[in-house]
Chain A
Amino acid sequence: MLTMTGISKSYGETLVLNRASLVVEEDEIVALLGPSGSGKTTLLRLIAGLEVLDEGRLELAGEDITELVPEARGIGMVFQSLALFPHLDVAGNLRFGLPKRGDESRIDAMLDTVGLSGFGPRRIDSLSGGEAQRVALARSLIAAPRLMLLDEPLSSLDSELKSGLAMAVRDILKSAGIPAIHVTHDEVIAGLLADRVVRISDLSGVESAD
């Protein structure tokens, strides 16, 4: 599904990623493990197109997306900060993920899917951490992305809630058939959510994952 080949990125003199390669299969959830500052978030931002890579190639479902702008890649992302729009209610946030003149009834259906039925009119600042995380996930899912990127979205939650939500996220992604890369430094959560766990240090220097 996603083929990432020989990706490098530096900021000034600092080399963050050196010829990193990875393949994510269809329907597969890959957990990417690594300590803080190891380049996990940078890697996700490169795949999403939010940062420009220095070298390498990105293919999604056989299409070369290396030069595409983020909005044309068809990739969803749940940010570590969740990035929920504070001026919109829950339904308004999900509406952002619908095509213009899209079917509004999908909002309620998606809220059902993430276990938040009836939350549409709720303000963002009235949500608990777990609820906000589900809204962020729902907003990305409703856009029907070809690939989902999860940037430590569970990191601010307590352990019990974290494990429950990790299982819920896995079930939702699996039932929607969306492949995902989940970035985390938590090995337990990585094991719960993903089909395969990869360490970021293992990505470098691999010429091609094929």
Chain B
Amino acid sequence: MRPGRVNAVGVLVLVLWTAAVLVPLGLAWSQLAAVAEAGIIETLADFEGRFQSQGSLQFTFVIAFLSTVITLLLGVPLAWNLGRHRWPAHSLLRGLFTAPFVMPSILAAMGFLTLISVFESISGFDLRSNDEMQLAALLLAHAWFNLALVVRFCEPVLATVDPSLEEAARLLPRGRTRSDRLLRLWAPLLTPSLLAAAAMTFVFSFTSFALVRHLTPGRRNLEIVMANQADWAGIRIPELGRAASEIVMAASLVQLLTMVTALGLISWLQSRARRDISASVVDARTTAPVRSWKSVHLMMMAAFVLAPLLGVLVASLQVRQPAGLVWSFDGWRAAVGSQSATDLTSALGWSVAYAILTLVIALPLGFLLAENIHRAERMGHGRFAIAIDVLAMLPLALSAVMIGLGVLIGLLRTDVTMLRSWWIPAYGHVMITTPFVVRVLLPAIRAIDPDLDGAAALLGASPLRRLLSIRLPLLTPSLIVASALVVAISLGEFGASWVVVRFTEWSTLPVMVDELLSRPGFDPLLRPAANAAGVVLLLLTLVLFMMVERFRPLGRGGDF
């Protein structure tokens, strides 16, 4: 596609995407506003006074802040250790430490629940009824989940900063001591990446749903408050729907404003990080000091990352009996059989079907959006390019539950015939995954030498042939990364799916796991069955994640 021409397909895609994102949200908002009696200012003022949402605002902000601090405390030394040294099996180690980021959140919840059980059986304490312990488990689980962000943002900077910078600093009076260099060289170089990672961690902890739901069952953050009101919000019977609609309006507005602020900050910080680091990518790592405390630190962090995952596997093979825990495949048999409202095979089938449908729509959609942004940039329409970029990223400013509510209230409660549409959960998945496709493909599209396209055109190649024989082959690694990410995110997506499909026959694997975990624990096979489903999810995600890691170049960090 030649820059300089208005591209009809591009404009159409842009209009369709904007409509697809904004229409359900707009419809949902008007539906909520129609049912609500109070205005938005009034609902915001009443929010903390209602029993359904009391304390949720403070809990959400405090947990997000503390999670961010703990994630940085654990993540920065790890990123330093990985970024400054070349370890044996380095790619595997980096993959291990960044894998939790693509793991379904419900899996993390299961893993930490298992670890709590193990700790309880060893220590004899009842951790689950202890409020402080629940909060500590939640904070650690958030750190486990977001550790990858600190590694992914900071490790590429540490690994590729021209080594002569540190050497030059050593030869100069103000860089002679290690602390001088840490303070004057590394801290300023790392600050933008570090703050971007912190802002991103804050966003993910702020919108945490599965972890809060299962690790702190007595507490509510804004996501839980909104999800709890999903059954009644937007119902056009004021006695039933009024309070729920007002609560969802207030919570979603606070959430939206917070996320837009944080994402704006991330975008600005990333542009600063790109500006400060030289464009050339050199491998600045030194051979790892294998016999040192750094190895011990790395092993301890590996144990921290692996423990919840291994916990899920072990818990799937253990069944509680009067005599104690015994090794058994009964949990697996129960998961495949009729233990759940939907069995593992069926849930897996729906999960795979939605992932494929999401891929088929999100990949070309994301590609065309990225092409449009690039074309606008090359034509010198910088502001238009930024506008498309912002539109493409719009769903990132919404949480999964908000997107689920948009689909539920904006589409299903507006047109009830859609309630029979099996494809409707994929709508939310497309909204959630398309921005990731754009973020992966845009740098790759920018990196293609424009002369290649020109040379092919001069040789008589049509726009379609140039796309098929020049651009797409050059983009293949990035397309694979984007595809793997789309499928992994879709398979593990929980918040939006929970809101939309939880009472339908289209339960996905994460929703099935949640359903099993939420049942009263009298049946000894419930937990092993849920863990068995979790192991399937874990293996699928791991395979896809390894594909992503294989095609990731050194120095590529915060753009996923």
* Chain A residues proximal to chain B, CB less than 8 Å: 48, 50, 69-73, 75-77, 79, 81, 83, 85-88, 95-100, 102, 125, 139-140, 143, 145
Contact = CB atoms under 8 A, between A and B. Distances in A.
Given A86-B276, A86-B277, A87-B276, A79 B164 contact: yes
Residue among B167, B171, B175 having the largest count of chain A Cβ atoms under 10 Å:
B171
A40 to B, nearest CB: 15
A88 B188 contact: yes
B170 A87 contact: no
Contact of A87 (B167, B172, B176, B189): B189
Contacts of A88: 188
Given A97-B173, A102-B173, A143-B173, 5 more contacts: A85-B165, A85-B169, A86-B189, A87-B276, A140-B172
B174 A85 contact: no
Interface residues on B, range: 20 to 34
Contacts of B176: 71-72
B420 interface: no
Interface in B135-183: 162, 164-165, 167-177
Contacts of A98: 173-174
27 contacts: A48-B167, A69-B170, A70-B167, A70-B170, A71-B170, A71-B175, A71-B177, A72-B176, A75-B171, A77-B168, A77-B171, A83-B165, A86-B276, A87-B188, A87-B276, A88-B188, A95-B174, A96-B184, A97-B173, A97-B174, A99-B173, A100-B174, A102-B173, A139-B172, A140-B172, A143-B172, A143-B173
A59 to B, nearest CB: 18
Contacts of B164: 79, 81, 83
B391 interface: no
A161 B188 CA distance: 33
A50 B275 CA distance: 28
B278 interface: yes
Contacts of A102: 173
Which 8 residue pairs across A and B have the least CB separation, nearest first?
A71-B176, A83-B164, A83-B168, A79-B164, A87-B276, A87-B188, A99-B173, A96-B172
Determine the main DSSP class of A at the interface with B.
Answer: loop
Contacts of A96: 169, 172-175, 184
A73 B169 CA distance: 13
A79 B174 contact: no
Contact of B275 (A75, A125, A145): A125
Contacts of B184: 96
A127 to B, nearest CB: 13
Nearest to B282: A81
B173 to A, nearest CB: 5
A50 B171 CA distance: 9
A71 B172 CA distance: 7
Contacts of A140: 171-172
A85 B278 CA distance: 10
B69 interface: no
B76 interface: no
